[in-house]
Amino acid sequence: EAGVAQSPRYKIIEKRQSVAFWCNPISGHATLYWYQQILGQGPKLLIQFQNNGVVDDSQLPKDRFSAERLKGVDSTLKIQPAKLEDSAVYLCASSLTGPNQPQHFGDGTRLSIL
């Protein structure tokens, strides 16, 4: 079974620029998550999708972050404009629907803001 695919692996941009990350979940996984992992901390949920609908975006900084999952499969996360504090690894995860289904993580995109 192919895992969660993310691209790019690394991205370096200057503050106030925009950036986008892409995620392809495991086939058949209806639930998709985006996490932010700052160096030395645990992942923090940014947004959760069930198919193409948003389940939880309470911790997404909506003034600069946006995410979509138009066809209920692939997803993109965008930051515009980026701030220095956005430097982090952005992880995508997916799971089957249902209680206690394990989340499977991709290897993330490491974002550095100069």
Residues lying near other proteins in the complex (CB under 8 A) are found at 4, 31, 33, 40-45, 48, 55-56, 91, 93, 99-100, 102-108
For the CB of residue 81, give the shortest distance to other proteins in the complex, in Å: 27
Q: CA geometry: angle at 84 spanning 82 and 87, to 5°?
A: 85
For the CB of residue 53, give the shortest distance to other proteins in the complex, in Å: 13
* Cross-strand partners of 54: 49
CA distances from 60 to 3, 47, 70, 101 (A): 25, 6, 18, 23
For the CB of residue 86, give the shortest distance to other proteins in the complex, in Å: 19
